[in-house]
Amino acid sequence: MIHRGVEFSVTQVAIGIWAWRFQIGDRAFTGRTEAKLNLLAIRRVELRIDRELKKIQQQQARENDKD
C-alpha cells in the first residue's frame, strides 16, 4: 500500500495483532499495533507515516533557517 508516496505493509501476526513496516529514505520503521480490524491497523500506520513526514519537514525547515 502507499500513503503520501511512502510504501508500507501491514500483516496480521495473530488475532488482533498487526505488524507494520515502512521506509522513508534510508530509515526503516517497524512495529506492531493492536486492532480488531485491518482498516484500523492501516489507519494507525498512515498516521505514523504522517508524523514521521512532519518531523522531517520540521528538521528541513530548521536547517533552512540556519542558512
Percent helix, strand and coil across the chain, each to the nearest 5 = 45, 40, 15
Residue 35 is predicted with a pLDDT of 97
Predicted confidence (pLDDT) at residue 63 exceeds the cutoff of 80 = yes
Predicted confidence (pLDDT) at residue 66 exceeds the cutoff of 80 = no
The full set of domain ranges for the chain reads 2-66
pLDDT tens digit sequence for 7-19: 999 999 999 999 9
**CA separation for the pair 41, 20 (Å, rounded):** 8
Grid cell of 34 as nine digits: 493492536
Q: Is 25 left (phi over 0), alpha (psi -120 to 50) or beta?
A: left
